[in-house]
Amino acid sequence: MAERNVSSIKVVSRKSLIFFFTMTSVLFLMSWFYVLRSTGSTDFIDHNLLPNSKILSTFDGSNSESQSQNQNGEESSLGNRAILVDSVDVGEAGEAKMNRENEKPEANDDRKCRRNDKVVLKVFMYDLPLEFHFGLMNWKGSGSSVWPDIRTEIPRYPGGLNLQHSIEFWLTLDLLASEIPQAPKHGSAIRVLNSSEADIIFVPFFSSLSYNRYSKTNPHEKKSRNKILQEKLVKHLTAQEEWKRSGGKDHLILAHHPNSMLDARMKLWPATFILSDFGRYPPNIANVEKDVIAPYKHVIGSYVNDASTFDSRPTLLYFQGAIYRKDGGLARQELFYLLKDEKDVHFSFGSVQKGGIQKATEGMRSSKFCLNIAGDTPSSNRLFDAIASHCVPVIISDAIELPYEDVLDYSEFCVFVRTSDAIKENFLINFIRSIGKAEWTRMWNKLKEVEHLFKFQFPSKEGDAVQMIWQAVARKVPAIRLKLNRFTRFSRSPPSADNGLKSIPVPKNFW
């Protein structure tokens, strides 16, 4: 019964939201009509609005024309178009892929054809000096190349908690692997050596590692190595032809640790960032339209051959973490007092560091639900640890951003509770207790289905975190193209009297 109530509250609030939006739109339209009518210009509506819809239909027409051009192998438009098609592919993720195999062959042949000759994201990677990437891992280089020959040698990324933010390592390795002729060709991204042919310009600075390892200032130094590297990077990047011609708009910069790139991001903001959340970013520097959210690498191992059931997991709700967090973590204390005496609830404080990983692994694998409460940032690797443990995440973090949420419906395998509700007496515990065996098992099954989407590995495999991130980047490319083309509108015009295009500053409100 209680289960019904809670889900109906959710439905009601969603319904009322939709209702509110519809009403506002209707009111807006009505008022517009009224204004036009009162000025006696209904003709305007009939005659001037119609051509608009004609424009729309012509646009549709030209669209399908350009699609057929693609099939004839027209290079220029192929990139963008293919990415759009690809994003349809991605949108349906693993599950739908199986459906597609059962699809009747006559169903939409045109789409299918373009799906098969999959076109991937073309990435140009700067050959940044060693100190920006593998050098941070104490790799000394081999010969004249700044990149390891990954057929014979893969430098080791430092372990422990460093690994949470190691996306920089996995993405770079995947690009290097894309160049090996005999490597399997399933990847979503390939490295291209001509930046003019690239969809995106990748900046291989291992910023999270730089923060984790080198952000302390030694006594005899003025600045930390992390700070110096960021300054060098800004100077280096903004001097590149690639940066100048786009103002950085087609650049991809990794800043997964919330404190990484703290200085440089204020200067490199036109680029697309890959982040864990937007918690410490002003919205004009990073936002969900421009940037990509990537998962943390889980520190708890995948639960292989999980034969557990609702009944075999004795703990109802599990939380392990620090109680006191600087910002936004107040809910943790409130929840602790609300939950500490509840039966079947494990709520304890202490970080997962040092030896705690084993305990947390056992804890999560023997719990039905795992709590994710906002800490000093809206996201944490705990969510991905819970997914890897097939422990249904209960997310209490209003500002959380989730990886690939444009193609993935987290409500199928996570439970979301608003912070304001969670801290009401008995609300959370009653809600969790109301979720029955059938519903939990459905979510548990879904967790097992999606867990590979959050797996970082080398070599990367189809549909893992590395591929999902590249595909999320690919879905940004059309918007980047739009910004870029607008940016270069005047590139063929004669230079203006005072100075040329290149010295026009990037407008501040360009987004």
Ligand X SMILES: *[C@@H]1O[C@H](CO)[C@@H](O)[C@H](O)[C@H]1NC(C)=O
For ligand X, the binding residues in 406-425 under the rule CB under 6 A are: none
Measured from the CB of residue 268, what is the shortest distance to ligand X in angstroms? 24
Measured from the CB of residue 199, what is the shortest distance to ligand X in angstroms? 13
Measured from the CB of residue 197, what is the shortest distance to ligand X in angstroms? 5
For ligand X, the binding residues in 87-106 under the rule CB under 6 A are: none
How would you class 228 by CB atoms within 10 Å of its CB: exposed for 0-12, middle for 13-18, buried for 19 or more?
middle
Measured from the CB of residue 483, what is the shortest distance to ligand X in angstroms? 20
- Terminal C-alpha separation, the chain: 48
Measured from the CB of residue 128, what is the shortest distance to ligand X in angstroms? 20
CB nearer ligand X, residue 197 or residue 462 = 197
Measured from the CB of residue 243, what is the shortest distance to ligand X in angstroms? 17
Evaluate whether 322 touches 350 at the Cβ level (below 8 Å). yes
Is cis: bond before 314, omega within 30 of 0? Answer: no
> Binding string, 35-74, against ligand X, x = CB under 6 A?
----------------------------------------
Cα–Cα distance for residue pair 157/491, rounded to 1 Å: 43
CB nearer ligand X, residue 202 or residue 206 = 202
CB nearer ligand X, residue 78 or residue 330 = 78
Name the nearest CA neighbour of 254 among 123, 410, 407, 150: 123
Cα–Cα distance for residue pair 410/400, rounded to 1 Å: 12
CB nearer ligand X, residue 116 or residue 194 = 194
Measured from the CB of residue 79, what is the shortest distance to ligand X in angstroms? 11
Measured from the CB of residue 78, what is the shortest distance to ligand X in angstroms? 12
How many alpha carbons fall within 13 Å on the CB side of residue 224?
Answer: 15
Measured from the CB of residue 193, what is the shortest distance to ligand X in angstroms? 8
Measured from the CB of residue 181, what is the shortest distance to ligand X in angstroms? 19
CB nearer ligand X, residue 126 or residue 384 = 126
CB nearer ligand X, residue 197 or residue 231 = 197
CB nearer ligand X, residue 491 or residue 496 = 491
Measured from the CB of residue 312, what is the shortest distance to ligand X in angstroms? 59
Cα–Cα distance for residue pair 134/140, rounded to 1 Å: 8
CB nearer ligand X, residue 53 or residue 194 = 194
HEC assignment per residue over 125-172: ECCCCHHHCHHHHCCCCECCECCCCCCCCCCCCCCHHHHHHCHHHHHH
For ligand X, the binding residues in 284-323 under the rule CB under 6 A are: none
Q: Is 241 a residue that touches ligand X (CB under 6 A)?
A: no
Measured from the CB of residue 194, what is the shortest distance to ligand X in angstroms? 4
Calculate ∠ Cα 8-373-345, nearest 5°.
80
Measured from the CB of residue 75, what is the shortest distance to ligand X in angstroms? 8
For ligand X, the binding residues in 148-207 under the rule CB under 6 A are: 194, 196-197
Cα–Cα distance for residue pair 95/463, rounded to 1 Å: 11
Q: Distances in Å between the alpha carbon of 81 and those of 66, 70, 315?
A: 9, 8, 49
Q: Name beta bridge partners: 395.
A: 372, 416
CB nearer ligand X, residue 152 or residue 196 = 196
CB nearer ligand X, residue 79 or residue 328 = 79
Number of residues in contact with ligand X under rule CB under 6 A: 3
Evaluate whether 255 touches 281 at the Cβ level (below 8 Å). no
> Going edge to edge, which strands form the sheet with 367-373?
345-349, 315-321, 367-373, 392-396, 415-416
Q: Please report where in the chains the tokens 């099939």 appear, as a residue.
A: 71
What pairing do the DSSP bridges indicate for beta strands 367-373 and 121-125?
Answer: unpaired
CB nearer ligand X, residue 144 or residue 194 = 194
DSSP 68: H
DSSP 318: E
Alpha helices in 369-435 (DSSP H): 382-388, 419-422, 427-434
Calculate ∠ Cα 34-35-40, nearest 5°.
95
Calculate ∠ Cα 326-327-328, nearest 5°.
130
Cα–Cα distance for residue pair 128/137, rounded to 1 Å: 15
CB nearer ligand X, residue 127 or residue 197 = 197
CB nearer ligand X, residue 488 or residue 503 = 488
Would you tell me which residues interact with ligand X (CB under 6 A)? 194, 196-197
